[in-house]
Amino acid sequence: MKIEFYGAASGTVTGSCHILHVGQHKILLDCGLIQGSRQAFEQNREPFPFEPSAIDAVILSHAHIDHSGRLPRLVKEGYHGTIHTHNATVDLCEILFKDSAKLAQYDAERYNKKNKGKRPLYPLYDLSDVDDTLKKFNGHSYQAWFEPLAGIKVRFHDAGHILGSAIVELIINEDGNEKTIVFSGDIGQFNSPILQDPTLLEKADIVLMESTYGGREHKARENTYTEIGEIIASASADQGNILIPAFSVGRTQEILYQLVEHYDEWQIDNWATYLDSPMAIEASKVYWDFKHLHDNDAKRLLGDFGNKIPLPNYKRTVTPAESKHLNTIESGCIFIAGSGMCNGGRIIHHLRHNITRPECHVIIVGYQAGGTLGRRLVNGEKRIKMFGEWLEVKAQIHTVGGLSAHADQADMFKWLSHFKTKPDVYLVHGEDDSRQAFKDHVEQHTDLTVHCPVAGDVVMLDG
């Protein structure tokens, strides 16, 4: 029995991928896309550090592309087994994979146009690879045991991170030697909206745990809501539009949910809200469909509205023509669109038409990576280049923190310290300083042993 660590070990947060060896079986835990700079992305083209056809089963913690995004490539290169995950993740992956394939194709075409005469770049995978991959999915409910391979029992627990996100519990029996391994996937915050809290577990011999915010405490969500309310009030007085760049899965649904919850307080009846993103529209349907996964507040608020949200003056724009029409509206609209970091998608067009107008407001609600347009706006740059022209940034840019889908140090510690069996802990999915900060914190306050594996490390689990 052993674990090999690949992506999202070695001090990175993307490309989650680990292999569990049990007897002759190899089980892959997640198979995420490496994200970030162009150079980082190119690593996705490198051969897998294992033979895809030699993997016997895949277990996927959640739909986020940094956990799931290389699965179509795995299938393209010979994986023929089943992909086990939560039912909601099956639906979300269909939306995310199709988008990812389209982006990969667009990216390859753009590269080949720029680099005529060089060896052409092929997309990482295409829509037919996505179709082949989706056929291999087997969805499960939380708490329900299943046996992906003989001698291996698995069940999912709600991780409270995004819809369908799972903490994976595996009971492994090899020659009479039984071990319980818990893979945290990404863990959500306690008391976050829509979703249930992360499930607390008591028993494990080994815990593989994410550590994205291992060294940080989040700002209280309530303070963030107060801040958003104040921004909406001043935008109302200014008579402009409000732009909210948001990721399609998770953040968009939280924003919509807060508009419903604070409808009276924020005087949302003065506004028309547009969700201008085909992908976020699809993801939202899945979010509102899986009502049994919602927390009690969300069940009460979303009630019997099917896969719609009870938000008056709310419109969803699917076609490019509908989206284009929005550019002619000068005031009274809240536009929610991707991409979350303003490095593509329809939000770019909204920025182009509103950024030079002092009466307009941009609310940044998510992390903005270095090198993205979103980061330049957060940094307060006064001139930005879009579509080949320089534009003066006159709209008011607001950065609100506190809406993270990841547990912070206190929540991570709460989750980990609930185990009663003193498991060995392996921190994955975190930059080096976050992992070290959380390791120090845990070792200072408990007698647990915490390891920070690097890519390629193999840990024997016998004995």
Residues in contact with Zn ion by the rule CB under 5 A = 64, 186
DSSP symbols for 87-140: HHHHHHHHHHHHHHHHHHHHHHHHHHHHTTTSPPPPPS--HHHHHHHHTTEEEE
What are the beta bridge partners of residue 171?
153, 180
Q: What is the DSSP string of 367-424?
A: ---TTSHHHHHHTT-SEEEETTEEEE--SEEEE-----SS--HHHHHHHHTT-SS--E
What minimum distance in Å lies between the beta carbon of 422 and Zn ion? Answer: 27
Nearest to 213 by CA among 27, 77, 36, 411: 411
Contact 101, 130 (CB under 8 A): yes
User: Which residue in 221, 223, 171, 167 sits closest to 199, CA to CA?
Assistant: 167
Return the number of the residue (404 or 409) whose C-beta is nearest Zn ion. Answer: 404
CB nearer Zn ion, residue 29 or residue 393: 29
Helix (H) / strand (E) containing 430: none
Decide the pairing of beta strands 396-399 and 177-183: unpaired
Residue 13, helix vs strand vs coil: coil
CB of 406 to Zn ion, least distance (A): 7
The whole-angstrom separation of Cα 18 and Cα 428 is 10
Q: How far is the CB of 64 from Zn ion (least distance, A)?
A: 3
**How far apart are CB 153 and Zn ion at their closest, in Å?**
25
Residue owning tokens 């989040």? 218
Q: Which is nearer to Zn ion, 55 or 159 (CB)?
A: 159
| Amino acid occupying residue 255 | I
Percent helix, strand and coil across the chain, each to the nearest 5: 35, 20, 45
If the CB atoms of residues 169 and 186 are measured against Zn ion, the closer one turns out to be: 186
Cβ 352 to Zn ion, closest distance in Å?
A: 30
Q: Which is nearer to Zn ion, 64 or 157 (CB)?
A: 64
* Minimum distance from residue 150 beta carbon to Zn ion (Å): 31
Which of 186, 411 has the CB closer to Zn ion? 186
Q: Indicate if the alpha-carbon torsion angle 240, 242, 243, 248 is positive or negative.
A: negative
Dist. CA 236–CA 175, nearest whole Å: 68
Nearer Cβ to Zn ion, position 61 or 372?
A: 61
- Quick one: 64 or 294, whose CB is closer to Zn ion? 64
Tally Cβ neighbours within 10 Å of residue 84.
22
Q: Residue 76 and residue 297: Cα distance in Å, rounded?
A: 42
* Distance of closest approach, residue 411 Cβ to Zn ion, in angstroms: 14
**Please, what is the minimum distance in Å from the beta carbon of residue 68 to Zn ion?**
9
45 neighbors 73 (Cβ within 8 angstroms): no
- Is cis: bond before 16, omega within 30 of 0? no
CB nearer to Zn ion: pick between 26 and 64: 64
Is the CB of 159 or the CB of 342 nearer to Zn ion? 159
Q: How far is the CB of 36 from Zn ion (least distance, A)?
A: 15
- CB of 214: closest distance to Zn ion in angstroms? 15
